[in-house]
Chains A and B, each alone.
Chain A
């Protein structure tokens, strides 16, 4: 469903610190499966994840989503697509401090203009399924690492996306919590979601839930 064709991405183009983070990657991410991008830090796997997830546009090359070329789309439209199609779980979770868990979960849906009642119903359904219902009104800075990750997952799911992207999901978790995360991955896969993660954690790369592992080094596929 997601197809990359000879995709390149440069930062600080034309300046002395120009950096090509991704140099010509072609890749197909299969639908309703779990794919892992594996590579050392600085290998460009996070940048590749942002290109897949329409967070950034490739400097050159094409990205196709459901067969449609999205690499020439304006940011405004990419954002719209991204909102419908992708849910992100960040390495640092990136919850907004000062807000409650519930508010954080509802945030990605604000621009859609749903009624508050609908928003809350969605958020509660998700928090329920992730065992966070009793923390709905707690501020996010009070959560433990595992709870914060589950809040971040709930947030990623609030717009009911087809694809979940996760950047180093287990980097801040112990083994026990990492296994717990894999349980959630299995549930999501069972619901028909496509998952794409970056990781160099062997626990993830060798997990039975993972269908495909793609190696990456210096911005190119291994």
Chain B
């Protein structure tokens, strides 16, 4: 078993987040049954006031999830020397079947929380909170996600079995144990690059188009989610190679380290924000027909789209810059 402060922090943060969302979901059930805006009873007033607490809790979970993601990855990287064959975070995450699922669940919870908060923002603009039931219904979907994340993370930490000399009879773990898959392979650089710039181009195009034709907004939201996945593939397949200037180092996490000037932050922060806002811009659109939201949905979707477009644009340019600046030549040979 491995134990360190970061793990203590992560476990506590996940547990707290789980408790908060479980409470929110339970409250949501209570609220859905008793919500009656026409009434001025103290029960109704109390429910309305609790919605402030719930949105604060979800925002809290969002923030802790964002920081938790970073800490989780850094921690995995820090633990890598404990495992033979693990060169960085990827190796640690591969020590058991729970590492990557835990990471993915964290990412999912992050986007779920951001989407919920965007819906909440729209909802609070309507004088009668028209989306209340939708919102609190959504919590029933989000709460299991964070519970699963907590469970997977705990399993991941508990399953860690270090190859230290105190734990067994001898040395040479390297020779008689299969080395961990310490690298992700990804696609070949050429196709990956085409895929990345193609997808981002499509996303930007749809986003700009949706400013004129709202119906394209749904496409933009989908493209944002797709762009998120494609960008991750791109980072593994070629961006990392260009940053490390090494033809076989595919780690998507080492980008966040001081050795590489924290360049990863300039990729991941815009990527996560752009995706969250992009998805949000599509999620608000179906409610354009709600009476108390008339005239509010379109400007908000526009606002979200614009912000996310800037970020995706920056991401594309920054990636191109990394490729152009790098001393590594992967494609085109002598060029």
Instruction: State if A and B touch, Cβ cutoff 8 Å.
Output: yes
Structural contact, A59 and B37, CB atoms closer than 8 A:
no
Q: How far is the CA of A12 from the CA of B48 in the complex (A)?
A: 17
Q: Which residue, of B38, B41, B43, B127, has the highest number of chain A Cβ atoms within 10 A? A: B127
Q: How far is the CA of A72 from the CA of B40 in the complex (A)?
A: 7
Residue of B nearest to A57 (CB): B40
The interface residues of chain B lying within 8 Å CB-to-CB of A76 are 124
- One digit per residue, 1 when the CB lies within 8 angstroms of any chain A CB and 0 when it does not, for chain B 193-225 equals 000000000000000000000000000000000
Q: Which of A9, A14, A58, A77 contacts B127 (CB 8 A)?
A: A77
Structural contact, B40 and A58, CB atoms closer than 8 A:
yes
Residue of A nearest to B51 (CB): A74
Structural contact, A59 and B41, CB atoms closer than 8 A:
yes
Q: How far is the CA of A73 from the CA of B48 in the complex (A)?
A: 11
The interface residues of chain B lying within 8 Å CB-to-CB of A57 are 40, 45
Structural contact, A13 and B37, CB atoms closer than 8 A:
no
The interface residues of chain A lying within 8 Å CB-to-CB of B161 are none
Q: How far is the CA of A77 from the CA of B124 in the complex (A)?
A: 9
Q: Which residues of B contact A (CB under 8 A)?
A: 37-43, 45, 48-49, 124, 127-129
Structural contact, A75 and B41, CB atoms closer than 8 A:
no
Residue of A nearest to B38 (CB): A72
**CB-defined A-B contacts under 8 Å, sample of 29:** A9-B40, A10-B42, A12-B42, A13-B41, A13-B42, A13-B43, A14-B42, A57-B40, A57-B45, A58-B40, A59-B40, A59-B41, A60-B39, A60-B40, A71-B38, A71-B40, A72-B37, A72-B128, A73-B128, A74-B37, A74-B48, A74-B124, A74-B127, A74-B128, A75-B45, A75-B48, A75-B49, A76-B124, A77-B127
Q: How far is the CA of A14 from the CA of B42 in the complex (A)?
A: 9
The interface residues of chain B lying within 8 Å CB-to-CB of A77 are 127
B37 nearest CB across to chain A (Å): 5
On chain A, which size bracket covers the interface? 10 to 19
| Chain A 34-58 interface residues, beta-carbon cutoff 8 Å to B | 57-58
Q: How far is the CA of A58 from the CA of B44 in the complex (A)?
A: 12
Q: How far is the CA of A77 from the CA of B128 in the complex (A)?
A: 9
A113 nearest CB across to chain B (Å): 16
Q: How far is the CA of A76 from the CA of B41 in the complex (A)?
A: 16
Q: How far is the CA of A205 from the CA of B37 in the complex (A)?
A: 38
Q: How far is the CA of A73 from the CA of B129 in the complex (A)?
A: 9
Q: How far is the CA of A77 from the CA of B125 in the complex (A)?
A: 8
A2 nearest CB across to chain B (Å): 17
Residue of B nearest to A14 (CB): B42
Q: How far is the CA of A71 from the CA of B39 in the complex (A)?
A: 8
- One digit per residue, 1 when the CB lies within 8 angstroms of any chain B CB and 0 when it does not, for chain A 69-96 equals 0011111110000000000000000000
- One digit per residue, 1 when the CB lies within 8 angstroms of any chain B CB and 0 when it does not, for chain A 10-22 equals 1011100000000
Q: How far is the CA of A195 from the CA of B114 in the complex (A)?
A: 45
A168 nearest CB across to chain B (Å): 25
B120 nearest CB across to chain A (Å): 12
